[in-house]
Chains A and B, each alone.
Chain A
Amino acid sequence: MIAVEQLTKRYGRHTAVDDVSFHCEPGTVTGFLGPNGAGKSTTMRMICGLTPPTSGFATVAGRPYQQLPNPGRTVGVLLDASAQHAGRTGRETLAVAAATMGIHSRAVGEVLDRVGLGESAARRRVRAYSLGMRQRLGLAHALLGEPQVLVLDEPANGLDPEGIFWMRGLLRDFADRGGTVLLSSHLLREVEAVADRLVVIGGGRIVAQGGKDELLAGTGTLVRARDRLALRGALEQAGLPVSNGTDGLLVGADSEAVGLAAAAAGVALTELRPASAGGLEQLFLTLTAEAGGHPTVAPPDASRSTATGATAQPTEETVR
């Protein structure tokens, strides 16, 4: 439903987005991850025809965004919750959008209910809204045209934990009914809970993409024992790749192999669990550090070598 093909955007000598390609399929939530300034928003604006790309192109529902006759009925877009007229009420903001799309104004009340903005909130001017309320209004705006695709830039910003939980449910439900969701975030944890697929961007380039399970699986097992040295020896003897983690040993194998190796050597374990997103998180931290340190584009190979094993490899694997 969303196809991004070799999108590139340069501002003078600075390359904000560099040869980015990915696809989002119906029925899935794609998490678009990257530190601030990585090129997420620029990419999303290019998808929505608001920023002309230097090269490459993007299509939504098989067409360039600008050729969609009534885009609000196909794609729900939330790029910046603060980009609303401060002097309009929440209800009026949606009523204007409904009138533009040719939707009955009854839909406005329904969508306000759906995002949890009550009657009194809807009557207030957007100026008086908290960021969380603006996000809800922005989400209502995106859902108003009953689209099949959602493009959301940092929609969880400003939402309280309950709001984030609610939004996850809403997006999951939207995808489960056949919709396509692309949502960006700079927090891995935030998208991990809802996304099926992840696209990780750093310095304008895609550094990893693939199914979430696939990306998170390769990260191995975290194991601890009172006798750390003995544990390490046992694992090495079993031929398992071991490295020092912050609170235990990281092993490039599944829990079963690690448990068997420890049992064979008679080492009592105090903890044994999948290392969850450790690897991806590490990749992510590296990206963030680079984004802060060097404004120049870091070659993806550099971040790849610092990340553990399989994490970054599925880049070539793109669902078509």
Chain B
Amino acid sequence: MTTTLARHAGPTVRAAERRPSLVRLSAVELRKLLDTRAGRWLLITIGLVAAGIVTLQLLYAPEAEQTFANFFIPSLLPVGVLLPVLGILSITSEWSQRTALTTFALVPRRYRVIAAKLVAVVLAALASVLASLALAAVGTLIADATGGAGSWRIEGSLILHAVVFQVASVLMGAGFGLLLLHTPLAIVAYLVLPIAWSIVGELVRPLHRVAEWLDTGRTMEPLFGTEVTAGQWGRLGVSLLLWLALPLAAGLVRTMRREVA
């Protein structure tokens, strides 16, 4: 009995002492985004929506406007609506499917799991920008062949802004997921609260100035153009503090303390 244990103790004990690296945990979380039907279809839908928009432009946009930049920009918004859902699901499915029980039993330092999830969804957001670029390229090639403008010119800042937009969107979703830990609640809150806030900010005169700083619908708008002024970056930063940093921080505290059952 003792001898068997001693013989096994060597390699097993050493493996048990090696903490899973953040890179490995992030790879696991990326895999978990893809290995369920829900996750896979969400990603496929995001791709299809972007492709659909490029197709519509090929069919209906004036030929002179069929440029690479013009194919790229419109695909960002619908993707930016769906990506946060991916961010929400990656967090809340652990609780709705009760896999938190096994996840946190394997990685008891919960913040490491959360960090890995955030890395995974940010990578997904970056991939979505690449997908948008690729689809825009296909659109441009077709436009070129069918008599459209087919211009390839694009400002580097446009791509950078797109990255900021998608990463911020997906992290906002993750923040809502962390805070509410409940899939339908988080999705509804994420979609409805900013819209409600936009409407209120629009209707209530004294809130006009506040809304300029806190309504992400407005503060993010400049990101669809090539130039964002320092003031606009400031407003964007302030609005993201409220809609991204705050839910993320409060949600992290909640997740760390929550009893897993």
Contact = CB atoms under 8 A, between A and B. Distances in A.
B5 A73 contact: no
Nearest to A66: B108
Given A85-B36, A88-B36, A146 B260 contact: no
A45 B108 CA distance: 12
Interface in B30-71: 31-32, 35-38
B24 interface: yes
Given A70-B18, A83-B102, A178-B2, A146 B12 contact: yes
B4 A50 contact: no
B101 A79 contact: yes
Contact of B106 (A72, A83, A178): A72
Nearest to B38: A87
Contacts of B105: 48-50, 71-72, 77, 79
A144 B101 CA distance: 16
A148 interface: yes
A176 B18 contact: no
A50 B31 contact: no
B15 A84 contact: no
B244 to A, nearest CB: 27
Contacts of B35: 88, 92, 96
A72 B108 CA distance: 10
Main SS class of interface, B:
helix
Contacts of A88: 35-36
Interface residue tally on B, bucketed by range: 35 or more
A49 B17 CA distance: 18
A27 B2 CA distance: 9
Contacts of B107: 71, 100
Nearest to A141: B102
A2 B134 CA distance: 55
Interface in A27-80: 27, 45, 48-52, 65-66, 68-74, 77, 79-80
Contacts of A99: 24, 27-28, 31
A76 to B, nearest CB: 9
B20 interface: yes
A314 interface: no
Contacts of A26: 5
B16 A69 contact: yes
Given A82-B98, A100-B24, A141-B102, A69 B18 contact: yes
Interface string B1-12: 110110010001
A268 interface: no
Nearest to B104: A50
Interface of A: 26-27, 45, 48-52, 65-66, 68-74, 77, 79-80, 82-88, 92, 96-97, 99-102, 141, 146, 148, 176-178
22 contacts: A45-B260, A45-B261, A49-B108, A50-B101, A50-B259, A51-B261, A70-B15, A70-B20, A72-B105, A79-B101, A87-B36, A87-B37, A88-B35, A96-B31, A96-B32, A97-B102, A99-B24, A99-B31, A100-B20, A141-B102, A176-B1, A178-B2
